[in-house]
């Protein structure tokens, strides 16, 4: 049955979820071999792998604050060779301490994605890493810290840098209106969720990582 997302879109309009996602049991969160799913404002355990699942309380509210957001990592990353005519974007692959990967389900399968990684376009002057951290929060409710580089991906309109990251705070139940569910998925099950053609190269890049790299 359709339902309304508890958060309004950027125009202040109510978002109708035509095919709402369904949450999994509380037990799924503590089992590293299980798929766990939460819906907006859904029920969660108090903590996961020793880190509290609570709302990020001091979220940046200005472009300047996002530019200096904590969690950016000063490593030597590859040059970002943005093709002419493509908008820059940044995304993030977040691995939980138990080895599972965080994914989001865009509201109403936006862009044809049933499930994917948080990503978004870079505002003028914004760092790629800052953008990735912002998109992680807006689409998954999670506060993350960048740990490394994964891959660059060219789409029809954008050229996206994907980073590896770890969760340091936040709550997936606080996902913004662009997402109707957040999932925690064992790496062995990622192929069941990442079905869009645009995500196949990223799935291959994750599979190619050595133990401890993600």
At residue 214, does pLDDT exceed 70? Answer: no
Radius of gyration of the chain (CA): 16
CA 65, chain centre distance (Å): 20
CA–CA separation, 38 and 76 (whole Å): 35
How distant, in Å, are the alpha carbons of 41, 80, 126, 129, 132 from that of 88? 31, 9, 10, 12, 11
Across the chain, the runs of DSSP E, i.e. the strands, are 3-4, 16-17, 36-38, 47-48, 51-52, 87-95, 101-106, 119-121, 142-154, 158-170, 179-185
* pLDDT tens digits, one per residue of 9-60: 999 999 999 999 999 999 999 999 999 999 999 999 999 999 999 999 999 9
DSSP string, 12-70: S---EESS------THHHH-TTS-EEE-TT----SEETTEE-B--TT---SHHHHHT-T
At residue 212, does pLDDT exceed 80? Answer: no
pLDDT of residue 210: 76
pLDDT of residue 163: 98
* pLDDT tens digits, one per residue of 140-196: 999 999 999 999 999 889 999 999 999 999 999 999 999 999 999 999 999 999 999
Percent of the chain topping pLDDT 70: 98
At residue 213, does pLDDT exceed 80? Answer: no
CA–CA separation, 25 and 42 (whole Å): 11
pLDDT of residue 211: 67
């Amino acid at each position: 049955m359709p339902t309304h997302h508890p958060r309004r879109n950027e125009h202040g309009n109510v978002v109708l979820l035509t095919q709402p996602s369904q949450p999994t049991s509380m037990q799924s969160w503590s089992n590293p071999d299980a798929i766990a799913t939460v819906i907006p404002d859904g029920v969660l355990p108090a903590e996961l792998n020793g880190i509290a699942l609570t709302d990020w309380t001091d979220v940046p509210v200005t472009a300047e604050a996002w530019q200096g957001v904590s969690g950016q990592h000063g490593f030597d990353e590859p040059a970002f060779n943005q093709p002419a005519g493509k908008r820059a974007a940044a995304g993030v692959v977040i691995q939980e301490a138990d080895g599972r990967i965080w994914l989001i389900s865009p509201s109403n399968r936006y862009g044809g994605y049933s499930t994917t990684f948080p990503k978004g376009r870079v505002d003028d002057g914004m760092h790629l890493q800052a953008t990735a951290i912002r998109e992680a929060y807006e689409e998954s409710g999670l506060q993350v810290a960048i740990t490394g580089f994964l891959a660059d991906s060219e789409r029809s309109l954008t050229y996206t840098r994907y980073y590896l990251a770890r969760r340091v705070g936040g709550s997936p139940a606080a996902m913004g209106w662009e997402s109707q569910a957040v999932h925690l998925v064992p790496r062995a099950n990622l192929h069941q969720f990442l079905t869009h053609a645009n995500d196949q190269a990223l799935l291959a890049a994750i599979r190619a990582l050595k133990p401890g790299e993600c």
